[in-house]
Amino acid sequence: MSEFSSQFDFVMFCSRQSAFLQVFLSLIAALMLLLLYSGNAEAYSGLIPPDPDNPGKCVYRGDELKMGVNLGIAPCQRLTCHENGSILIEGCGRLRFESCNYGERIHLDKPFPECCKLRYKCKKADGTPYYIERDTFASEQQNKLKRR
């Protein structure tokens, strides 16, 4: 093998590693933002960039998605696969209420956005329990309309 060939192979290896690292860091940044906003936010959305190792394919958590809308992705998400391999991710998020738990999904078996309805178990000042039900996706859509 010539010296040029092995240098070229090394450069190609480094460039693939660099592309992988760039995608990996982009995914980590997107997930960190989702986690940051889902702590007290309602619905969330973000764009996952195309994976250069899988051109024209949408790969999410090791699974290849079909082109277009994909429903029923845990935890209650809708993923839209674009032709360039990017993925629009949409989810419900959760709300926080004082003296309440973090909420439990009411319809685990339903696809997005029907699975966004949560039931929160809360306590009154005297300790007696009460429940709050909220559809976090519908609430966010109403908030967007009010802001326009």
CA distance 106 to 116: 8
- Asked whether 113 and 92 are in contact (CB, 8 A), the reply is yes
DSSP 16-35: HHHHHHHHHHHHHHHHHHHH
Cβ neighbours around 108 below 10 Å, total = 10
Domain ranges of the chain: 3-147
> What backbone phi and psi angles, to 5 degrees, belong to 76?
60, 70
Tell me how far apart the terminal alpha carbons of the chain are, to the nearest angstrom.
Answer: 64
User: pLDDT 10s digit of each residue in the chain, 148 long?
Assistant: 555 555 556 545 555 666 665 666 565 545 444 443 334 456 889 999 999 999 999 999 989 999 999 987 788 899 999 999 999 999 988 888 899 998 899 998 888 999 999 999 999 999 999 999 999 887 555 444 444 4
